[in-house]
Amino acid sequence: MASKKITRALVSVFYKDNLEPIVHALASVGVEFVSTGGTQDFIEKLGYEVTPVEKLTGYPSIFGGRVKTLHPAVFGGILFRRDHGQDNGEAQQYNIGPLDLVIVDLYPFEETVAKGGSEDDIIEKIDIGGISLIRAAAKNFNDVLIVSSRDQYADLLHLLHTNKGASTLAERKTFAARAFNVTSHYDTAIFNYFNQEQQLTSLKVSETKGRVLRYGENPHQKGVFYGDLDAYFDQLNGKELSYNNLVDVDAAINLVAEFENETAFVIIKHTNACGVATASTVKEAYIKAFAADTTSAFGGVLITNQPIDKEAAEEINKLFFEILIAPDYGQDALDLLKTKKNRMLLRQKLRLKTGKQYKNLLNGVIEQDADFKTDSVEDLNTVTKREPTQSQIKALLFASKIAKHTKSNTIVLAVDGQLLASGVGQTSRVDSLRQAIEKAASFGFDLKGSVMASDAFFPFPDCVEIANQAGIEAVIQPGGSIKDKDSIDYCDQHNMTMVLTGFRHFKH
Please tell me the distance from the alpha carbon of residue 458 to that of residue 432, in angstroms, as a whole number: 12
Distances (CA, A) of 153 to 25, 61, 157, 167: 11, 27, 6, 14
- Residue 288, amino acid: K
Please tell me the distance from the alpha carbon of residue 399 to that of residue 414, in angstroms, as a whole number: 6
455 closest CA partner among 487, 486, 432: 432
CA 67 to chain centre: 36
CB 418 within 8 A of CB 277: yes
304 closest CA partner among 276, 331, 266, 330: 266
378 closest CA partner among 253, 488, 503: 503
Please tell me the distance from the alpha carbon of residue 123 to that of residue 144, in angstroms, as a whole number: 30
Contacts of 50 (CB under 8 A, 6+ apart): 33, 34, 35, 40, 43, 44
Please tell me the distance from the alpha carbon of residue 68 to that of residue 333, in angstroms, as a whole number: 58
Distances (CA, A) of 285 to 270, 277, 312, 315, 445: 21, 5, 9, 11, 17
Of 185, 270, 338, 340, the active-site residue reads 270
φ/ψ (deg, to 5) at 150: -65, -20
Task: Determine if the peptide bond prior to 409 is cis (ω within 30°).
Answer: yes
Please tell me the distance from the alpha carbon of residue 367 to that of residue 389, in angstroms, as a whole number: 39
φ/ψ (deg, to 5) at 312: -65, -45
139 is catalytic: yes
Please tell me the distance from the alpha carbon of residue 152 to that of residue 172, in angstroms, as a whole number: 12
| DSSP secondary structure, 200-264, as one string | -S--------EEE-S-SSSTTS--EEES-HHHHEEEEESS---HHHHHHHHHHHHHHTT-TTSEE
Of 16, 24, 71, 139, the active-site residue reads 139
CB 445 within 8 A of CB 468: no
- Residue 313, amino acid: A
CB 195 within 8 A of CB 202: yes
Contacts of 95 (CB under 8 A, 6+ apart): 73
Please tell me the distance from the alpha carbon of residue 260 to that of residue 263, in angstroms, as a whole number: 8
Alpha helices by DSSP H, listed for 376-459, are 390-404, 429-442
CA 212 to chain centre: 15
Q: Which residues are catalytic?
A: 139, 270
